[in-house]
């Protein structure tokens, strides 16, 4: 068994934004167990060393939130002993993290705010889209079946920040983690994925991309408090607050919440 990490980042070298959710404290004084929950970006480019690391770490379920086009373009490399679950939140990549730099440069040359504005729409859709709600319900069904200690569910999209980020927000809320800690975990993408983000921006600049394009791509590659705030505003509109949303829109029962806390807290 791999030793637990001192912080949230996992030492994956051929992927981005791989993070342990263990260690976070719930409001009742318990903590999220280690080796039970991992969030991440793309698995399709992992080398054998990283795949072995994830298998040894305990990953037994691989939940893929990406669209069909994304999966076709870069299929998951599934860790040995892990079961693959295809749960597409959207029917296409609304976050545009899978598009080429050339495609993005054509789209984002004119308005320097269009990337930020697009992400606000994405976060509204993550909350309001009936299909997304069903997928997140199914995500919890997989979490509820993961009852063995030291066996982890890994959930991911392409960048591991938007579809995956809201999955983590829902999950940590169900586990009773406070809102400030949840927000901090959400924003941690900008730190942990910084090398990947900086590499892609440097690639753009090396191609002499227009500054508007660079600004917009940065909005697509990062997370921002405004994005999460947009999601929370839509949740408030639909259900009053996050806890109610878990019940009314993701169809979790009080028993489900209790079971999740028994499985994932110590």
Contacts of 6-12 with C-beta under 8 Å, sequence gap 24+, read: 8/185, 8/188, 8/192, 9/192, 10/38, 10/40, 10/53, 10/57, 11/53, 12/40, 12/46, 12/50, 12/53, 12/54
Cut 0.75: pTM above it: yes
Decide if pLDDT at 233 tops 90.
yes
pLDDT of amino acid 94: 76
The sign of the CA dihedral 246, 250, 253, 256 is negative
pLDDT, tens digit (0-9, with 9 covering 90-100), for 138-195:
999 999 999 999 999 999 999 999 999 999 999 999 999 999 999 999 999 999 999 9
Asked whether 218 and 67 are in contact (CB, 8 A), the reply is: no
Higher pLDDT pick, 105 / 53: 53
Decide if pLDDT at 56 tops 60.
yes
Decide if pLDDT at 250 tops 80.
yes
- Percentage of the residues of the chain whose pLDDT score is greater than 90: 83
Q: Directed axis angle between helix 114-128 and helix 225-239, to 10°?
A: 30
What is the C-alpha separation between 237 and 258, in angstroms, rounded? Answer: 26
pLDDT, tens digit (0-9, with 9 covering 90-100), for 15-39:
999 999 999 999 999 999 999 999 9
What is the C-alpha separation between 10 and 55, in angstroms, rounded? Answer: 13
pLDDT of amino acid 78: 98
pLDDT confidence bin for 110, thresholds 50/70/90: confident
pLDDT, tens digit (0-9, with 9 covering 90-100), for 64-107:
999 999 999 999 999 999 999 999 999 876 766 556 666 777 77
pLDDT confidence bin for 4, thresholds 50/70/90: very low
pLDDT of amino acid 99: 62
Decide if pLDDT at 205 tops 70.
yes
pLDDT of amino acid 98: 58
pLDDT of amino acid 208: 87
The sign of the CA dihedral 142, 146, 150, 151 is negative
């Amino acid at each position: 068994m791999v030793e637990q990490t001192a912080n949230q980042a996992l030492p994956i070298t051929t992927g981005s934004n791989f993070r342990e959710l263990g260690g976070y404290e719930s409001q009742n004084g318990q903590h999220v167990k280690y080796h039970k929950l991992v969030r991440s970006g793309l698995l399709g480019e992992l080398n054998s060393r990283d795949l072995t690391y994830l298998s040894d770490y305990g990953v037994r379920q691989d939940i893929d939130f990406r669209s069909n086009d994304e999966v076709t373009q870069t299929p998951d490399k599934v860790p040995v002993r892990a079961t693959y679950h295809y749960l597409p939140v959207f029917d296409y990549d609304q976050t545009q993290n899978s598009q080429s730099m050339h495609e993005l440069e054509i789209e984002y040359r004119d308005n320097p705010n269009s990337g930020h504005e697009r992400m606000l729409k994405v976060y509204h859709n993550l909350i309001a889209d009936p299909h997304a709600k069903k997928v997140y319900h199914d995500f919890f069904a997989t979490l509820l079946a993961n009852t063995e200690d030291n066996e982890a569910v890994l959930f991911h999209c392409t960048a591991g920040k938007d579809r995956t980020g809201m999955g983590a927000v829902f999950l940590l809320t169900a586990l009773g983690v406070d809102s400030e800690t949840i927000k901090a975990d959400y924003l941690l993408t900008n730190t942990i994925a910084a090398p990947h983000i900086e590499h892609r921006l440097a690639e753009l600049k090396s191609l002499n991309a227009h500054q508007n394009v660079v600004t917009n791509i940065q909005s697509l590659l990062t997370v921002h408090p405004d994005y999460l705030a947009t999601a929370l505003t839509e949740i408030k509109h639909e259900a009053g607050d996050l806890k109610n949303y878990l019940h009314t829109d993701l169809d979790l029962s009080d028993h489900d919440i209790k079971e999740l806390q028994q499985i994932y807290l110590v």
